Chain A
Amino acid sequence: MVAAFDFVPAIVLLPFVSFLIALFAGKYMPKGGALAGIAATAGSLLLSIWVAISLLGVSGERIHQETIYTWATGIGDQPWELTFGVLIDPLSALMLIIVTLIATLVHVFSLGYMNDEGETGLPRYYAGLGLFTASMLGFVVADNLLMAFMFFELVGLCSFLLIGFWFRRDGPPSAAKKAFLVTRFGDYFFLIGVVAVFATFGTAQFAGPESFPVLAEQAVAGDTSVVNTTFGLEPTQWFTIVGLLVLGGVVGKSAQFPLHTWLPDAMQGPTPVSALIHAATMVAAGVYLVARMYGFYAVSPTALAIIAFIGGFTALFAATMGVVKREIKQVLAYSTISQYGYMMLALGAGSYVAATFHLMTHAFFKALLFLGAGAVIIAMHHNENMWDMGGLKDKMPVTYATFLAGSLALAGIFPFSGFWSKDEILYEAFIYGLNDPLLLGGWVMGLLAVPITAFYTFRMVFLTFHGEPRSETARNPHGFGWNVKGPLSVLGVLAVVAGFINMVPVQKLTGIELDFLTQYLDSGGEGLTYSGYNALLAEYGGYEAGVVGTEVTTLLIAAGLSLGLAVTGLLVAFKLYNVPEPVEHTAKLGQVKDVLYNNYYQDEFQVWIAHRTQSVAAVADKFDQGVIDGVVNGVSSVSLFGGRRMRKLQTGLVTNYAALLTLGLTALLLAFGLLGGWFV
């Protein structure tokens, strides 16, 4: 039991080792380092499962925290400690399994997508995957905010490397740069937030009696001696500001409005990388971070309401753009933004479990959909345009069946996994929204996004797999092997059954105990549990569940609404696109379609802002070149000048040196003599 927790660092280190192997020995290995990567991630997966089982075996508080390395300590009266440590609680154990599972399947799938397709640069690819997985795992087990920030940045770096994998083409390098810069913009605020947390609490630990969420709660409860707020603000106001600063990083990484623009462009990377980014690593990091420090957000209701509103808005906003896209991966990209909007909505609505639940089910079905799209792309000889596909279901039955399962889950159709998690989010947003207009707004937008999600998902399914083939490649698709079908099957099963671990609505209707995930997440350490967060929210956030009639009618209204709307969206898509020769119905939208197709001109808007801020950048450049570099260059030129003068002393004549020695001795003797008073 204790032994399992000793292996937590190994979970992070194994993929890192595979990174080193692929980087330095990949070109001598048969599959370009793929086998090392598969072995490492599978090993991490087994260790994660072992850790999770051990955690279940712990009676009482299920939490394991250990400081592994202290790399800096404060001196004097600054009791700060900067450490690397691991924190294993139900949340991180669950996340470890998700990340390692998806990473393993993505590695296997890459054999089919990259190796079998004869790509070059495979060692670089597998090194990137290994480092990506390792950084995300490091982020997941991090026990303090600073360590989390470091790994957060590493994740961003790896996404840059992998999105730009095909660096010889035009698109990928620029997409990689965009992803890097946009997320960096968010991370800038995150960094300030980390510093603010340190300045306020003197610690950045996530868990334990001295952790910053606990101190924040004490401060809000009235004991303001434990924190240093700045600018003379009340603790609640200051915590809201700090929370929003950290949220900047979350918005960037989880691709929330207005920093979502990098994610659709990130589709330029290889498809398995997209699956990894969207399902388990990069994008999940933002939501996970909020869940990780939820105790801190729970005491600042303003920050939560903003999170909920951003989330609801992003869910709707991204869904509308997904409707008109022509390329299969673009549709999936917008669905990812939209689904992470739901998670943010859940977090803002105070439903930590629903967010985690949706994070999990989404990881499974989105990885499935991306890998399915990857299979379609292999079959279509790397043509991603859905209007060139059609009729693929007879030729690729495994892909079709699994893709359909993933789509039903994404659309939120009963009883697939996405239904349970999305329904729980909307239910929670609804009941708390009844007492909070901002949350209600988030709920309405989330609800509106449901039929749109169902519509674009099934538009994609019907265009890709149904009807008549619309191109030569669709008539004779390229085949693929077990390494594509295997991961698809595993994820297909999970996309169907993963929802059954937390059937709260059924429990409320029938009374049978079915909320396993809720109970699991409620068993963590003190201050890290679901009920603990709920108590905080009720006490400091004024979160109060409202009902329409009785609880059961409320539940039925919420579930019925979301399911009804999802089915409506599906049926509309069925009507319009499940025909032998579908046409572009979205063209009837006219100008609206152009706006949607161009992503509400968000990219153009950002470019416009970039042009407006060029003068600021020019000043910064001047400062950098002039002052910063000037100081450095100045120091070196002083040394150079001094050296040029001083070397004149070195004449190469021994006589001169001897004369200098003698003069020096004489001068010393004179000095001693004068000071010692010999000549008086």
Chain B
Amino acid sequence: MVPPEYYLLLSAAVFCIGLFGVLTRKNALYFLMSVELMLNAANINLIAFSLFWGNMTGQTFALFVIALAAAEVAIGIGIILVLYRNFGTVSVTDATTMRW
């Protein structure tokens, strides 16, 4: 059996890639993908520990997170669409009209 440390390392790596994307990219679509990566990093953790402890709860949670992520993407895509219609771009730096 693969020891849990490997899973945790994988999960941390995926999370950091997602975080890097959020911090560096300007395109809203990249943002969405990065957030997905971070969510899935959490999923990896949940399933790894579920396997390790032999407990189904973690896997159930992971299923819920996947469903949630799907919903989130639907809303995110919608927001991006409106963003594009209003500003003619999907760059997050241009939507600054609500700022002080």
Chain B residues within an 8 Å CB radius of A653: 92-93, 96
| B-side contacts of A652, CB under 8 Å | 95-96, 98-99
Tell me the residues in window 3-61 of chain B with beta carbons closer than 8 Å to chain A beta carbons. Answer: 19, 22-24, 26, 31
Q: Is A632 an interface residue (CB 8 A)?
A: no
**A638, CB-defined interface residue at 8 Å:** no
Q: Is A233 an interface residue (CB 8 A)?
A: no
Q: Binary interface profile of A, 631-671, with partner B (CB < 8 Å = 1, else 0)? A: 00000000000000001001111110011001000000000
Collect the chain B residues with CB atoms within 8 Å of residue A662's CB. 19, 23
Report which of A647, A650, A659 forms a contact with B23, defined as CB distance below 8 A.
A659
- For residue B95, which residue of chain A has the nearest CB? A652
Q: Is the CB of A658 within 8 A of B22?
A: yes
Cβ of B87 within 8 Å of any chain A Cβ, yes or no, is no
CA distance A650 to B96 in the complex (A): 10
In the assembled complex, the Cα of A658 lies from the Cα of B30 at a distance in Å of 14
Task: Compute how far the CA of A652 lies from the CA of B94 in the bound complex, rounded to whole angstroms.
Answer: 9
- Given A653-B92, A653-B93, check contact A658 B23 (CB 8 Å): yes
Which of B78-100 touch A at CB < 8 Å?
92-93, 95-96, 98-100
The answer on a CB contact under 8 Å between A654 and B92 is yes
Q: Contact check: which of A650, A655, A658, A659 meets B99 at CB < 8 Å? A: A650
Q: How far is the CB of A667 from chain B (nearest CB, A)?
A: 15
Query: Assuming the A-B contacts A659-B23, A662-B19, A662-B23, are A654 and B31 also in contact, with contact meaning beta carbons closer than 8 angstroms in the complex?
Result: yes
**Which residue of the partner chain A has the closest CB to B92?**
A654
User: In the complex, how many residues of chain B place their beta carbon closer than 8 angstroms to a beta carbon of chain A?
Assistant: 13
* Chain A residue at minimum C-beta to C-beta distance from B19: A662
Q: B100 to chain A: which residues have CB within 8 Å?
A: 647, 650
Chain B residues with Cβ under 8 A from A651's Cβ?
Answer: 96, 99
Give Cα A386–Cα B2 distance, bound, in whole angstroms: 117
In Å, the complex CA distance between A655 and B23 comes to 5
Looking at the assembled complex, report how far the CB atom of B98 sits from the nearest CB atom of chain A, in whole angstroms: 7
Task: Please name all residues of chain A whose beta carbon is closer than 8 Å to the beta carbon of B93 when the two chains form the complex.
Answer: 653, 655
Question: For chain A, what secondary structure do more than half of its interface residues adopt (helix, strand, loop), or is it mixed?
Answer: helix
How many residues on A have C-beta within 8 angstroms of the other chain's C-beta atoms? 10
Residue from A651, A655, A659 with most neighbouring chain B CB atoms (10 Å): A655
Q: Which residue of A lies closest to B96 (CB)?
A: A652
- A647 to chain B: which residues have CB within 8 Å? 100
CA distance A651 to B94 in the complex (A): 11
Interface pair A655/B98, CB less than 8 Å apart: no
- In the complex, the chain B residue whose C-beta lies closest to that of A651 is B99
A537 to chain B, nearest CB (A): 75
Question: How many angstroms between the C-alpha atoms of A232 and B23 in the bound complex?
Answer: 75
- Bound complex: CA A442 to CA B100 (Å): 76
Rounded to whole Å, the gap between the CB of B75 and the closest CB of chain A is 15
CB proximity to B under 8 Å, residues A180-209:
none
Residues of A within 8 A of B24 (CB): 655
Would you call A655 and B92 a contact (CB within 8 A)? yes
Which residues of chain B are within 8 angstroms of A650 by Cβ–Cβ distance? Answer: 99-100
Q: Which residues of A contact B96 (CB under 8 A)?
A: 651-653
Q: How far is the CA of A615 from the CA of B99 in the complex (A)?
A: 51
A contact residues around B98 at 8 Å (CB): 652
Instruction: Tell me the smallest distance from the CB of B12 to a CB of chain A, in Å.
Output: 13
Closest-by-CB residue of B relative to A665 is B19
Bound-state Cα–Cα, A650 to B98, Å: 10
Complex formed: what's the CA distance from A2 to B66 in Å? 74
- What distance in Å separates the Cβ of A656 from its nearest Cβ neighbour in chain B? 9
Residues of A within 8 A of B92 (CB): 653-655
A residues less than 8 Å from B22 (CB atoms): 654-655, 658
B99 to chain A, nearest CB (A): 3
| B33 shortest CB reach to chain A, Å | 14
Considering the complex, give the chain B residue whose CB is closest to the CB of A647. B100
B26 contacts across to A, CB distance below 8 A? 655
Residue of B whose beta carbon sits closest to that of A644: B100
CB distance from B37 to the nearest CB of A (A): 13
Distance in Å: Cβ of B86 to nearest Cβ of chain A: 14
A647 to B95, CA, bound (A): 17
Q: What are the residues of chain B within 8 A of A659 when measuring CB–CB? A: 23
Interface string of A497-541 (1 = CB under 8 A from B): 000000000000000000000000000000000000000000000
| A658 vs B24: C-alpha distance when bound (angstroms) | 10
Query: Which chain A positions have C-beta within 8 A of B99?
Result: 650-652
B61 shortest CB reach to chain A, Å? 22
Among A658, A659, A662, chain B packs the most CB atoms within 10 A around the CB of A658
B31: A residues at CB distance < 8 A: 654
Distance of A662 Cα from B22 Cα, bound (Å)? 11
- Minimum CB–CB distance from A470 to chain B (whole Å) comes to 78
| Residues of B close to A658: CB separation below 8 A | 19, 22-23
Question: Could you say which residues of chain A place their CB within 8 Å of the CB of B19?
Answer: 658, 662
For B23, the chain A residues whose CB sits under 8 A away are 655, 658-659, 662
Chain A, Cβ-Cβ closest to B99: A652
A650 to B99, CA, bound (A): 7
How far is it, in angstroms, between the C-alpha of A658 and the C-alpha of B34 when the chains are bound?
12
Q: Which chain A residue has the least Cβ–Cβ distance from B93?
A: A653
Q: Nearest Cβ in chain A — how far from B87, in angstroms?
A: 12
Could you show 25 A-B contacts with beta carbons less than 8 Å apart? A647-B100, A650-B99, A650-B100, A651-B96, A651-B99, A652-B95, A652-B96, A653-B92, A653-B93, A653-B96, A654-B22, A654-B31, A654-B92, A655-B22, A655-B23, A655-B24, A655-B26, A655-B92, A655-B93, A658-B19, A658-B22, A658-B23, A659-B23, A662-B19, A662-B23
Residues of A within 8 A of B (CB): 647, 650-655, 658-659, 662
The 4 closest A-B pairs by CB, nearest first: A652-B99, A652-B96, A658-B22, A647-B100
- Known contacts A647-B100, A651-B96, A659-B23; 7 additional CB pairs below 8 A are A652-B96, A652-B99, A653-B92, A654-B31, A655-B23, A655-B92, A658-B23
